[in-house]
C-alpha cells in the first residue's frame, strides 16, 4: 500500500502544478480498477475543491 500513498502525493503535487494532470489521474483510475480508486478520487476532489 505504501506505493499507492506515494503515488497519491505525486498526483496531488502534479495537479497543483498543472491542471492537465487531471488526465493523468483519469488514466490511472481507468487502468487500476480496485478499492484504491475511491481513495484517489476522494483526495483529488478534496484537493480541487478545498
At 3-39, the pLDDT tens digits run 555 566 656 655 554 555 566 666 666 665 554 555 5
For residue 48, CA distances in Å to 1, 27, 45 come to 23, 17, 5
C-alpha cell at 26: 483519469
Domain of residue 26 covers: 2-48
pLDDT of residue 17: 47
C-alpha cell at 20: 492537465
Greater confidence (42 vs 17) lies with 42
Number of independent structural domains in the chain: 1
50: pLDDT strictly greater than 60: no
Beta-carbon count within 10 A of 24 CB: 14
pTM metric for this prediction? 0.22
42: pLDDT strictly greater than 50: yes
pLDDT of residue 46: 56
Amino acid at each position: 500500500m505504501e506505493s499507492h500513498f506515494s503515488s497519491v502525493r505525486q498526483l496531488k503535487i502534479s495537479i497543483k502544478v498543472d491542471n492537465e494532470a487531471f488526465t493523468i489521474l483519469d488514466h490511472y483510475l481507468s487502468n487500476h480498477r480496485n478499492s484504491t480508486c475511491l481513495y484517489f478520487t476522494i483526495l483529488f476532489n478534496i484537493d480541487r475543491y478545498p
